[in-house]
Every structure is written in structure tokens, then in C-alpha cells.
Amino acid sequence: MAPPSKVNAKQKAFLESLIDMFLENRKKSTLHRFWLVLYRQWFEQYPMVEDTSIQDAEERRKDLAAKVEKKREYLNRWYHNHASVKVRAVVPVPVVTHQKKTCCPQLVQMYCKKYYSCHIKPLIVKELNSKVPTKKEFLALLHVHSTATFDNETPAVKAQMNEEYQKRLSEPVEELEEVTPSSYAA
């Protein structure tokens, strides 16, 4: 979370009114001129007050100089943090409507997707015995049980899965048009 602002609403309005001037001077590499104008106007409107509780005049002067320098650093940082909002471009993020198919699922993968909850899941749950597996352990168990269950399946189910697999293989893969920078803008 950002720290609370060290300026009130009136001071913030004053600082924001000079952002365009700051950006123009930054573009021309003449920020030293901007800082002179800013510091003069700021300290005329919002003068720093000496701490009267300090008895020694030299110490009081040093304390005031430290306060002024700290305020100057704050103002400098304020412009670098707040002016960037005006110059940042809002780039629209391209929305991917569909992804290119990379490959067709294998026969056992299709079987697993169709029959996982009724044939494979009970075997995995039984073997885990209420233990929470890591992702690697779960995938290893899934591979072992899905392959074994498919091998033990009836010839009718195997034929049905093989038919679906051949059908998926024969489907044409959509060819996406070539992505160019101009296609992102559209």
C-alpha cells in the first residue's frame, strides 16, 4: 500500500497544475528551469517555519535547511511518480478468441476423459487411502490406472473409443491466419 500523501488537496491541485510544464521541460531536458519555478512558487505559497523550540540559532538554521531539502526531494519525487500517468499509453490487450489445436488426444487420454469418474477414480481413491498426493504422484497413478483399465476393457468399448479416436484424427485442424502487428490493432 502506498504511504499517505504529504500534501493536502489544495497543494495537490497546485502540483497537478504544473505537470504539463514538468513534462514539457523534461522533453526539452531543461528540468533545472522547472525546479527553480516550482520551488520559488511552492515556498512562496507554503513557507517553511523555523522550529522556535531550538535555542541555538545555528541549529535552528540547519534544521530549517534540512526541512527545506527534504521537501524539495519530496516534490521532485512527486513529479516523477505522478507525471508518468499522463504519458503512459493504454495499450489494448488482444483477446484470443480461439487457440490453435496442437495435437489430438491419444486413445487412452480420450478413454480417461470419458470414463474417469466411474472406472478410474475409484481405483485411485482406493490406492491413495485418504492421502493427499502431489501432482506428480497423482499423474503417475492416473497413467498407471487409466492404461490398465483401458487394457482390461471390453472389446466393444475399445472399438467405440477407437472409432471416436479415428473421427478426431480425421477432423481438419483449423489454420489460423498469420499474426501480424496490424492484426492486434483490429
pLDDT at 162 (0 to 100):
92
- Mean pLDDT, the chain, integer: 84
Place of cell 492484426: 183
Q: Which of 27, 9, 8, 7 is nearest to 77 (CA)?
A: 7
pLDDT tens column, 9-28 = 898 899 889 998 998 998 89
Average pLDDT over residues 56-69: 91
d(CA 186, CA 184): 5
DSSP conformation letters of 88-107: ---PPPPP--------PPPH
Angle between helices 107-115 and 135-151 (to 10 degrees): 100
pLDDT digits (tens, 9 = 90+) for 95-110: 666 666 567 788 899 8
Q: What is the arithmetic mean of pLDDT over 39-54?
A: 89
Cα-to-chain-centroid distance, residue 65: 42
Mean pLDDT of 73-99: 74
Rounded to whole angstroms, the Cα distance separating 34 from 37 reads: 5
